[in-house]
Homo-oligomer: A and B are copies of this chain.
Amino acid sequence: MQSIFDLGLPGMEFNGPRIVIIGGVAAGATAAARARRQDETARITLIERGPYVSFANCGLPYRVSGDIQKRSSLVLQTPEGFFSRYRVDVRLNTEATAIDREARVVELTTTEEDGTVEQHELPYDALILAQGGSPIMPPIEGLDGPQVFRMWTIPDMDGVHSRIEQAAPESALVVGGGFIGLETAEAFIKRGLSTTVVEATPTLMPPADTEFGLRIAQSLRASGAQVITGLTVTRLAYDTETGRGTAHLSDGREIPADIVLVAAGVRPNTELAQSAGLEIGPSGGLVVNEELRTADPAILAAGDMIEVRRRVDGRRVRVPLAGPANRQGRIAAINAVGGSARYVGALGSSVFKVMEDTFAMTGLSEKAAREAGFDTGTMVVHRGSHAGYYPGATTLSLKLVYNKADHRLLGAQAFGAEGVEKRIDVAATALAGKLTLDDIAELDLSYAPPYSSANDPLNMAAFAALNDLSGYSPAISATELPVARATMLDVRTYGESSKDPVDGAVGIPLDELRMRMDELQKDARILVLSRDGYESHIATRQLKLAGFEKATYIAGGMLSLKNYRK
């Protein structure tokens, strides 16, 4: 198979460096376009093992759901388009089977549509590996059934789509409660399937902290889905005559599963790199330096397959997300043709739509921060997404994770119907700038009643965190309850308390507290509870100033406590 560059093109001279890019989706496609913008003479070849190049893998579930009507809109670029705009030689259905680093040659195997297989070699001056990852197939009996799918490529998506159209499934099972699994679960729900999600860890969305996993589960359940956590699927059965499938769970339960989507994580595609003797790091990703070069300076890598610097603490991790992949592809291309761009690392910002709600996070979760050894503090607030007097405001739940010693922000998570991703993007920018809680308390964010409040939820969360750290108004996380020998003081109004009572709590509405302090013991450990944590902060100040030294409020109030009742 000859290269278009060897064949010659009228009026063009391609005598520059031979750039071979393996992998044609996010990082690879970006690298190819950028390499051309760097060098009009470069001979750029893009190798893709699948039948599509540069497709919108993040959009696949939304095609199944019907949100995206036109399948073609997911194919962002074609080999023809790549050629006419960028003079890139795209080779589809082509697997890179080996790298001869000494000779600087890649061995390729192309499978034509008619099934013929052709093997060929491609020399390179610079090789960019952008092979991404592959879905992990967990050890479940019956994974080879006709009802079992993944959601990774356009053909995967087509398979799910036509299965729903043709086999008339009534029930769907999603194995795995991460981004792809839950986005596809939403698609199944929208298609009218009775949907179950099974996640092996204790809560959905394992990168998030527990309370957010529980909130996501609540959203899905409210939409009619069944959510099962802490169990695994052991066996999948399918009756080809009836079209009905069944899944057997590790506790012996059986659930209907006419169609099954396996989304149990992704492993990086490092086999080729490994067989070429390149180093794989402890995270499982390919090791690269800041210029995204491997130990072999002629081989660079980008995207889901590599190990990157986690910006918050410098740890080497895998961050398989589209944004970092695109920026890495750009940098790898610059360096492949002699530039010296540097990749600073990833924050791991992500966002995910769950029915009408949104969950987003950036930086370290509380559990990741503790695991990394930070002196970890957290604060949760539940505030209006915009001014309460302007119509349409919804409750936004925001959690800040920070280092107690120096007040530095480590991460943030948020859940709600509006403005979630805004607050997380602000937090991501705060992480990039190494801002502290003090900085965030003073952040001037844009305010008008349809968009926010004069003090944004981010300001409020930082205020509350600082008040906790200084002892001005100490708070306890809802996750730390119950506390032995403590008095729970409920300062909600009588109406609120009677609608949603708390066992064993002393009820004194906030506006009566000053007059009724003699009902409380001065030296008691008092845990003040309010609807969302704000009025209990006011009560805690009154108590502290009146000499109740051990007054503390429950951060996030009832709204946080509720997330711990499954």
A residues contacting B by CB (< 8 A) are 10-12, 26, 37, 39-40, 56, 58-59, 62, 67-70, 73-74, 76, 84-85, 87, 179, 183, 311, 321-327, 343-344, 346-353, 358, 360-362, 387-391, 421-422, 424-426, 428-430, 432-435, 439, 441-452, 454-456, 459, 473, 510-511, 514-515, 538, 541-542, 545-546
Contact = CB atoms under 8 A, between A and B. Distances in A.
Nearest to A75: B389
A437 to B, nearest CB: 13
11 contacts: A59-B389, A73-B388, A322-B454, A326-B455, A327-B441, A350-B447, A350-B448, A353-B448, A430-B433, A432-B433, A433-B433
Contacts of A426: 425-426, 428-429
Contacts of A73: 388-389
B446 A439 contact: no
A351 B447 contact: yes
Given A40-B542, A541-B37, A390 B68 contact: yes
A217 to B, nearest CB: 19
A65 B449 CA distance: 13
B429 A433 contact: yes
Contact of A511 (B84, B362, B448): B84
Contacts of A327: 441-442, 455, 459
Contacts of A87: 514
Given A59-B449, A322-B454, A362-B444, 13 more contacts: A12-B514, A26-B454, A40-B546, A58-B454, A73-B388, A323-B454, A327-B441, A327-B455, A353-B448, A421-B446, A425-B446, A429-B429, A432-B443
Nearest to A472: B37
Nearest to A343: B442
A46 to B, nearest CB: 17
Contacts of A538: 37, 85
A323 B326 CA distance: 36
B68 A391 contact: yes
A331 to B, nearest CB: 9
A343 B442 CA distance: 8
A347 B439 CA distance: 13
A40 B84 CA distance: 74
Contacts of A59: 387, 389-390, 449
B387 A58 contact: yes
Contacts of A389: 56, 59, 68, 70, 73-74, 76
Contacts of A351: 446-448, 451-452
B422 A425 contact: yes
Nearest to A81: B511
B444 A323 contact: yes
A4 B12 CA distance: 89
B11 A515 contact: yes
Copy count, this protein chain: 2
A456 B87 CA distance: 26
A324 B422 CA distance: 20
A413 to B, nearest CB: 11
Contacts of A58: 387, 447-449, 454
Nearest to A327: B442
A70 B391 CA distance: 10
A85 B321 contact: no
Contacts of A362: 444, 446
Given A67-B391, A73-B389, A327-B459, A428 B443 contact: yes
A281 to B, nearest CB: 20
Given A59-B449, A429-B433, A510-B85, A323 B390 contact: no
A449 B26 CA distance: 14
A323 B455 contact: yes
B323 A445 contact: yes
A69 B392 CA distance: 12
A456 B439 CA distance: 24
A448 B350 CA distance: 7
Contacts of A352: 448
Contact of A56 (B361, B434, B449, B546): B449
A85 B546 contact: no
B449 A425 contact: no
A8 B542 CA distance: 19
Contacts of A511: 84-85
A448 to B, nearest CB: 5
Nearest to A358: B451
Contacts of A26: 454
Given A59-B387, A432-B435, A545-B39, A446 B515 contact: no
Contacts of A434: 433
Contacts of A348: 444
Given A40-B542, A387-B56, A391-B67, A349 B444 contact: yes
B444 A347 contact: yes
A390 B444 contact: no
Interchain residue pairs A-B with the least CB separation, the first 3:
A433-B433, A351-B446, A429-B429
Contacts of A425: 422, 425-426, 445-446, 456
